Amino acid sequence: MAESKRYWVAAGTGLPTWQCAIMQANTKIIRFYIETFRDIVDHIGTFAASSYRLRDLQLFRGADENQLQPLLADCSVCRLPRDQRLEDTFRARLFIVLSGALAETAIDGTVSKILPGESVGEQSVLDEATNLADIRALADADLLVIDGDLVWQLIDSSNGVARNLLRMLSFRIRAASATSRKRQKLGEFYRQLSMNDGLTGLYNRAWLSDMLPKLVGKAHRDQQPLSLVMIDLDHFKRFNDTHGHLAGDDALRAAAGQVAKALRPSDYAVRYGGEELLVILPDTSAKLAAMVAERLCQRLRQVVVFGDMRLPMPHLTGSLGVANLQGTIDEKALIAAADAALYRAKSAGRDRVSL
């Protein structure tokens, strides 16, 4: 029986050997993480032995120092060398910057600068989870390290600490919201930028591919007319060959500007490709679209590219083809109809409108 007892119970502990083995394994794991943490940062003393003051730290500002000093006296003060990453994955901790500065990069890529008196790790302590942010020293930084359990003890014992923590978290939330709004606006700006032609400022083919099916679908559902006007600048290759591509760009910009100014706010002008433009006229019948096209044709004749009238081809003209949404045709058939009408206008001598 004695031998059996020695087999099942570790000597001097009164505990089963399997439980002692688990405890020893946990001790080794804890020692490993502690040693790893020590390799990254240099422990330079305790807070009680340092020259830093509680009143300079945001979390403790206005709180009862006499009440907090004993709780924080044994907290470690560590030094994180410049450009080193703070590796502390074992448990949630709060790090308060005493000197130097840190850079915290969140999972979404947002970078925050942590200055003396500020802290990092509050969220991980409250969530009782590992801090997944990338934290690096921008300069040699002295850090006050507070274990998560002690943070909760400080909150329970001091209304001032709880109030400061709420204020800090509120600031973080507002800053995150502002960053999110800024990103949304920036994303919308770039989305709009990607939908516009860089030379003329008109919508581009990407916008057309996205919007024309929607406009055609809406016209079919509402049983409303929809018309297209396809525009091709006449002899534009000759213009480029004679005057150069820079002058050709100026001419294309001038023509696009005339077209855009002649349209209603509800109409759309698109650079379809090269010297071809496309105008979308919602809620517009074929007869009215033909009138709009005639007006555009006249406007193009008024585009002055060069002030010197003695130069060859000082003005531009355009051929225009008009198509109207008929029956159940889709956007591809509608564009094909406008393109066919444009071909007829060019075949008839250019500088004119064809249906």
The residue to which tokens 């083919």 are assigned = 205
276, 211 contact by CB (below 8 A):
no
Exactly one of 275, 276, 294, 331 is catalytic; name it: 275
Point out which residues pair with 103 in neighbouring strands.
113, 136
Q: Which residues of 289-314 are buried (b: 16+ CB within 10 A; e: fewer)?
A: bbebbeebbebbeebebeeeeeeeee
User: DSSP string covering 146-180, please?
Assistant: EEHHHHHHHHHH-HHHHHHHHHHHHHHHHHHHHHH
Is residue 275 flagged as an active site residue? Answer: yes
Q: How far is CA 100 from CA 129, 140, 320, in A?
A: 26, 6, 68
Q: Select from 135, 76, 126 the least CA-distant residue to 103.
A: 135
- In this structure, which amino acid lies at residue 279? V
Catalytic annotation, residues: 275
